[in-house]
Amino acid sequence: MNKRMNVIRNILKSRSEKNGIFFTKIQKILGFKPKNISIYEKAFTHRSMNIKDKKGNAINYERLEFLGDAMLSSIIAAHLFNEVPEGNEGYLTKMRSKVVSRKHLNELGKDLKLIDLMRSNIPNSQFGINIHGNIFEALIGAIYLDRGFTYCEKFVKEAVIEPYIDIESLEGQIISYKSLLIEWCQKEKKAFKYEIYEDTGKDEMKHFAVKLWINEKVIAKARATSKKKAEEKASKRAYFALQSRMKS
């Protein structure tokens, strides 16, 4: 009986120590104390853990990611609205897209080393690059549920706006070469099309190849592991080939 009690005490002690370490790390990232640490634990739980609550609902970061995405978007929108009073709706929308782009969010998640706190049955090395941004958004959702909008806004300002948002720099960033190219073609009344076909190369992963036609002339070619990536890569090559004409 004593041995069994000792085992139980050791298990509880181990859990308590782990929770304490997690609490300390989260507090360091946030810059303030969490009230309900269980919300943050959910934000760092991958679906591969296959954990459910008493009602059978899945416990993982995905719902918090949805909430965090909405909160982040609204806070950034308000900041741009106040900082750029002359910006019209189209301009503000583009600028917000640059701030909350998947690439940018992944960089933020990486900088904060959020992946190190993830609970998962999958090795970190097997996650795609977007996991970093997904967890970052889940963290923002957790902050909102735990401490409300004021603390959520404070964290976004300190973690995103102050160190990363510079209006002049953002204006020069291109987040989608494909969108830029299509917009230019439509403005200049040029016919364009993306001709996509499955690549028959010897790669282990399936690849797609694309030819970008403008006014019945192939301007750029590219190949990648998805149609979307191939189109973006071809668009980028076309942009640099036509850069002087597009800026004139």
Point out the residues that are catalytic. 69, 137
Q: From CA 41, how far away is CA 139, in angstroms rounded?
A: 10
State whether the Cα torsion 228-231-236-239 is positive or negative. negative
User: Can you tell me the distance from the alpha carbon of 234 to that of 220, in angstroms, rounded to the nearest whole number?
Assistant: 5
Distance CA 133, CA 171 (A): 22
Using DSSP, state whether 34 is helix, strand or coil.
coil
What SS3 class is residue 199?
strand
**Coil, helix or strand at residue 164:** helix
Contact assessment for residue 227 and residue 210, using Cβ atoms and an 8 Å cutoff: yes
How far is the first Cα of the chain from the last one, in angstroms, to the nearest whole number?
84
